[in-house]
Amino acid sequence: MALRFDVLIIGTGLAGQAAALRLAKTHKVALVSKRAVEDSASSWAQGGIAAVLDNRDSIEAHIRDTITAGAMLNDATATRFVIENGRRAVDWLIDQGVPFTRDQAGYHLTREGGHSARRVIHVADTTGLAVQTTLTEKIRQQPNISIFEQHIAIDLITGEKLGLADRRCHGAYVLDSASGEVLTIGARHTLIATGGAGKVYLYTTNPDTSTGDGIAMAWRAGCRVANMEFIQFHPTCLYHPQAKSFLISEAVRGEGGLLLLPNGNRFMPRHDNRGELAPRDVVARAIDFEMKKGGLDCVYLDISHKPADFLSEHFPNILARCLELGIDITRQPIPVVPAAHYTCGGVVTDLRARTDIAGLYVAGEASCTGLHGANRLASNSLLECLVFAEAAAKDIVEQSDGDLPSLPPWDASRVSDPDEEIVISHNWDELRRFMWDYVGIVRTTKRLQRAQNRIRLLVREIDDFYSHFRVSHDLIELRNLVVTADLIIRCALQRRESRGLHFSRNYPELLKHARNTVLRRRRSPIRRP
């Protein structure tokens, strides 16, 4: 089936929804969601949105904190652009009706690791969910937005793939996961807002949808990808067999939570003079060190010294979830471990969210704007989503509409139903395990090379499977995960220093000059159809 829209948005997290709402007044928008519209990494965000909202804070302080956390790899222009537009982005959410938590002074602002001031506006400890719920209600009421739930994008349609002289993106092929039908969705403008790639690792705080789809599609289409070695491991994921991917917010440490060994002793002051308020990469490495040194399954985060009423007010979701698992955070510490949390690198974009391919935009975690550098400052992610969603929408509105070329339907005439789908599950499991073992918090060149050897084998197997059998939701995700894992490893092998989130035992020193790791595609992707 062939469909045509003014704008195709792939992904329904904060970046995708914010862009869709801004464009719906003037454009017909197709909004593609792998699951329900509400299911995204944005809805899992607990902490909040960092912005300068207090007279005692300043733009310069927020910029300084962001660049310090980013180990000086941040793009100065992009960082200033995002932070200077922070207040307007938050005001837009307030206008949409997001019920941010208030106190006697107005909106309550919390402080998180790496921040020198209280500047994180939030909705208790479920900010992402509250934002998504508010925007989703508006999305579903917009007549100009066509929602495609339970649909997954397979690949972008570019002039190169059509044999045209232009390098423009003309839409995408999209699989209806329920029926198995592949839709051809044409659009003059396409925005990728698919989020990160946390599911490339065995342990992650991300939802199952975070499989690097947008990054992989843009790479296959010919976009540059940068800084993929910088995978942020959140220091505190709840350690419990029934607590899949449950995050213990940065704000718990921001409000006085202490990290403890099983014997009750603090350890962060030995690793950094900022203690529990050190940036995430420092805290994650410290926990990893202490766990390996002591042969520990986990460490503990203790906030029980705070009044129960305070915890109930500020962390109701964390309190409730822990209670369900038999952990009363008002009386006992929380068992935690690090887990893959955020992809700081991604598709290279400019300040209007434009990529190397005309008509193709990327916003949110799938992008590399230069804001995060070598490590994302806590609660800058939702801010980036908002600012670049607005930038992309503004640029799209300013473009003159042109004609779409004739787009061929998806060709499944030369493929058959898969005979051994167990190959997909086995490869998925192998990939996530060796990425965790060899490309984790602390790396060595030998480990990275081992991972690269295994990736090459998986790429050949999966490409062969993709070429001969009908596409499925799981196959598309696996194909994208393998591409994304390969990009992470290639970037990590190129960086011969330890900076931010990338720590190498072979290159423990910091180089004098901070440089981005930029990858360019050298060969054409498999053409299908």
Q: What is the pLDDT along the chain (529 residues), one digit of tens a residue?
A: 689 999 999 999 999 999 999 999 999 999 999 999 988 888 877 789 999 999 999 999 999 999 999 999 999 999 999 999 999 999 999 999 999 999 988 999 998 888 999 999 999 888 999 999 999 999 999 999 999 999 999 999 999 989 888 889 999 999 999 999 999 999 999 999 999 999 999 889 899 999 999 999 999 999 999 999 999 998 999 999 887 778 898 889 989 999 999 999 999 999 999 999 988 888 999 998 899 899 998 999 999 999 999 999 999 999 999 999 999 999 999 999 999 999 999 999 999 999 999 999 999 999 999 999 999 998 999 999 999 999 999 999 999 777 899 999 998 887 877 766 778 888 999 999 999 889 999 999 999 999 999 999 999 999 988 988 899 999 999 999 999 999 999 999 999 999 999 999 999 999 999 999 999 987 544 443 4
Q: Is the pTM of this model over 0.75?
A: yes
Domains 2-229+344-398 and 235-339 share a fold: no
CATH class assigned to 2-229+344-398 = alpha beta
Q: What pLDDT score was predicted for residue 529?
A: 40
Q: What pLDDT score was predicted for residue 405?
A: 92
Question: Pairing mode, if any, of strands 367-368 and 346-348?
Answer: parallel
Q: What pLDDT score was predicted for residue 380?
A: 97
- CATH fold for the domain made of 422-509: Methane Monooxygenase Hydroxylase; Chain G, domain 1 (1.20.58)
């020198």: which residue's tokens? Answer: 116
ω into 529 cis (within 30 of 0): yes
H or E stretch including 488?
helix 473-494
129-159 burial string, b = 16+ CB within 10 Å, else e? bbbbbbbbeebeebeebebbbebbbbbbbbb
Q: What pLDDT score was predicted for residue 419?
A: 67
Catalytic residues: 280
Give the domain ranges of the chain. Answer: 2-229+344-398, 235-339, 422-509
Instruction: Tell me which residue of 5, 26, 17 sits closest to 394, measured CA to CA.
Output: 26
Q: What pLDDT score was predicted for residue 339?
A: 93
Q: What pLDDT score was predicted for residue 281?
A: 81
CA angle 14, 39, 109 (to 5 degrees): 45
- CATH fold for the domain made of 235-339: Flavocytochrome C3; Chain A, domain 1 (3.90.700)
Instruction: Tell me which residue of 177, 196, 204, 217 sits closest to 33, measured CA to CA.
Output: 177
CA distance 285 to 271: 9
Instruction: Tell me which residue of 8, 65, 3 sits closest to 375, measured CA to CA.
Output: 65
85-101 burial string, b = 16+ CB within 10 Å, else e? bbeebbebbeeeebebb
